[in-house]
Amino acid sequence: MEKIVLPEIENFHILDVFVENGGFTAAKKAFSQSTDDIIDQVKKSGLRGRGGAAFSAGLKWSFMPKTTDKPKYLCINGDESEPGSFKDRQIFEYNPHQLIEGILITCYAIGAKTAYIYIRGEYHKWIKLMQKALDDAYAAGYVGEAMKEKFGTEFFCNIYIHKGAGAYICGEESSLMNSVEGKRGYPRVKPPFPAQNGLWGCPTTINNVETITNIPPIINKGWEWFSKIGEPKHPGTILFGVSGHVNKPGVYELPSGTLLTDIIYNYAGGVPGNKRILCVIPGGSSMPPLRGDQLEGVKMDAESLRAAGSAIGTGGIMVMDEDTDLVKVLARLSHFYHHESCGQCTPCREGTGWLEKILKRILAGNGSVSDVDLLITVANQIEGNTICALGEAAAWPVRFMVTRFRDYFEARVSKEVNLQVANKVHSMRETARPLAEVKN
């Protein structure tokens, strides 16, 4: 199977090696075509975003206005703060120049003269590696005004690396733009959407690192070639980051639609000790988890996972064996989303804290029977009531984990637990009453 995003070529991250293997030929080819032709090819290829939403890349490009007095911008989302996701850093390290070439082609297609690569602040090593690659590309004339002479074109663009400040919320596109502008990472209300009102009020397109790295091969080999790889409705290869209870964790580039069980057992080496799989989160920690006894026949593409009751997300596959404490896992995830909530929306700001407190109470052995349903109720009150998708990211793991593994959670609570009555007058605040009385 041909690898598109992470080709197995030694020292491919070095500019000379990249050029020797056909690097920047796609950009030269693209610059000789019309921008509409480029967008049309990407649309026909079926390339969908690899950042989580799996939205059509070509369709997103077409939203950019053709005529405007304002400058246009491209943002590359390399924030990658989703727990369980670690694929984009592979591109920064092993194939940075194909990403740069993809940025050049994308900027040309949408009419942008400036691009920002937004990288999460904790990625110190990969920021340095990407900066080195970008500096080499500038020095060789592949980026900046020197492109005119290098490619024989009037088009040129500049690329800048923007280091994030370690906030998960900045993986959301409008928060990312606020961060680039030097503001606090608060999501924006949409509409207006970035294509109409993005960076500094100007038209902006935002794509994931892996998405853009697919562009040069599509231009070089044709949209027909790409559209025939993997699942027809979600074509191409996908970088799957496999972690947890597997013998060979790592990043595997495989065709979309590869069986989840094949990835776990044939590529990631199976589960240590041949233990039974209890749970799998297939697309990063915010995606709905799947029961281990319901994995047969599940394919790793957007439509198949939706039918199975989950989502492709970032392709971060988290495997948990039969000895896993699911309450502890969920409490840890809820702590993360509570900590990373920006606080702008009340349901998310307050609800994520409630979820964490309830789960910690259960974990400590003080959970009541009503806490199991309370978790679902709070999750439902968060979902769909926030400006951005962090609400869903916090709610889905709780709602689906509790629903699909209810027996595990009910086994951890007690019918004998008494709850302290809240909101009583000060003199009665320490009074405890049986749970049955509280209900009445």
For residue 256, what are the domain limits? 234-321
The model's pLDDT over 316-372, given as tens digits with 9 standing for 90+, comes to 999 999 999 999 999 999 999 999 999 999 999 999 999 999 999 999 999 999 999
Q: Is residue 53 pLDDT above 80, yes or no?
A: yes
Please tell me whether residues 48 and 182 are part of one structural domain. Answer: yes
* Same domain, yes or no: 246 and 335: no
Give the pLDDT score at 377: 96
- Which amino acid is located at 98 in the chain? Q
What separation in angstroms does the CA of 272 have from each of 242, 268, 275?
A: 14, 11, 6
One domain, residues 294 and 212: no
Angle 300-173-345 from CA coordinates, rounded to 5°:
105
Q: Quick check: 52 pLDDT over 90?
A: no
CATH assignment of the domain containing 351 = 1.20.1440.230
Residue 375 has pLDDT above 70, yes or no: yes
The reported pLDDT for the residue numbered 431 is 53
pLDDT of residue 242: 98
Q: Is residue 425 part of a domain?
A: no
Q: Would the pLDDT of 218 be above 60?
A: yes
Helices (H) and strands (E) in the chain, counts: 20, 13
> For the domain that residue 213 is a member of, what is the CATH number?
3.40.50.11540
- What is the pLDDT, as a whole number, of residue 438? 52
Asked if residue 417 has pLDDT above 80, the reply is no
**For a pLDDT cut of 90, what percent of the chain falls above it?**
91
Q: Is the same domain home to 295 and 337?
A: no
Exposed (0-12), middle (13-18) or buried (19+): which is 220, by Cβ within 10 Å?
A: middle
The answer to whether residue 356 sits within a structural domain is yes
Do 172 and 253 lie in a common domain? no
Domain count, the chain: 3
Domain shared by 200 and 51, yes or no:
yes
pLDDT at 428 over 80: no
| Residue 337: count of CB within 10 angstroms of its CB | 26
Per the domain annotation, does 214 fall within a domain?
yes
Query: Are 143 and 137 in contact, with CB atoms under 8 Å apart?
Result: yes
Per-residue 3-state assignment (H helix, E strand, C coil) for 305-354: HHHCCCCCCCCEEEEEECCCCHHHHHHHHHHHHHHHCCCCCHHHHHHHHH
193 has a pLDDT exceeding 80? yes
User: Would you state the pLDDT for residue 415?
Assistant: 75
Name the pLDDT band for 91 (thresholds 50, 70, 90).
Answer: very high
pLDDT in tens, 244-288: 999 999 999 999 999 999 999 999 999 999 999 999 999 999 999
In a domain, 6, yes or no: no
Do residues 345 and 405 both lie within one domain? yes
Name every residue whose Cβ is closer than 8 Å to that of residue 42 and which is 6 or more positions away in sequence: 57, 58, 61, 109, 215, 218, 223
The residue to which tokens 């902006």 are assigned: 204
Q: Which residue has the tokens 């007058």?
A: 425
Cα dist. 97→30, 78, 115, 376 in Å? 16, 15, 15, 46
Asked whether residue 428 is assigned to any structural domain, the reply reads no
Residues 96 and 167 in one domain: yes
pLDDT over 80 (residue 427): no
Instruction: Categorize the per-residue pLDDT at 8 as very low, low, confident or very high, splitting at 50, 70 and 90.
Output: very high
3-state helix, strand, coil in the chain (%, to 5): 45, 15, 40
Give the strands of the sheet with 204-208, arranged side by side. 158-163, 114-119, 73-78, 204-208
- 211 shares its domain with 112: yes
Tell me the C-alpha distance between 28 and 150, whole Å: 9
> φ and ψ at 418, to 5 degrees?
-100, 140
Residue where a domain terminates, one of 185, 205, 227: 227
User: In sequence order, which residues have a C-beta less than 8 Å from that of residue 117 and are 6 or more positions away?
Assistant: 76, 78, 99, 103, 130, 134, 159, 160, 161, 162, 209
Q: What is the mean pLDDT of residues 395-405?
A: 97
pLDDT grade for 429, boundaries at 50, 70 and 90: low
**Structure pTM?**
0.92
Residue 427 lies in a domain: no
pLDDT digits (tens, 9 = 90+) for 67-79: 899 999 999 999 9
Contact 78, 122 (CB under 8 A): no
Q: How far apart are CA 254 and CA 300, in angstroms?
A: 10
**pLDDT tens digit sequence for 279-299:** 999 999 999 999 999 999 999
Nearest one of 226, 229, 217 to 101, comparing CA atoms? 217
Whether residues 333 and 269 share a domain: the answer is: no
Asked which of 304, 321, 338 is the last residue of a domain, the reply is 321
**What is the reported pLDDT for 124?**
95
Do both 199 and 102 map to the same domain? yes
Both 296 and 403 in one domain: the answer is no
416 or 114: which carries more pLDDT confidence?
114
Query: Is the pLDDT at 183 greater than 90, yes or no?
Result: yes
Q: Which of 167, 196, 227 is the last residue of a domain?
A: 227
Beta bridge partners of 254: 238
Q: Can you give the pLDDT at residue 166? A: 83
* The pLDDT value given to residue 276: 98
Q: Is 352 a domain residue? A: yes
* Whole-number Cα distances in Å, 423 to 358, 367, 372, 431, 434: 18, 20, 22, 11, 16
pLDDT (tens digit, 9 = 90+) per residue, 156-170? 999 999 999 889 999
Give the span between the Cα atoms of 204 and 72, in whole angstroms.
Answer: 6
Return the pLDDT at 164: 93
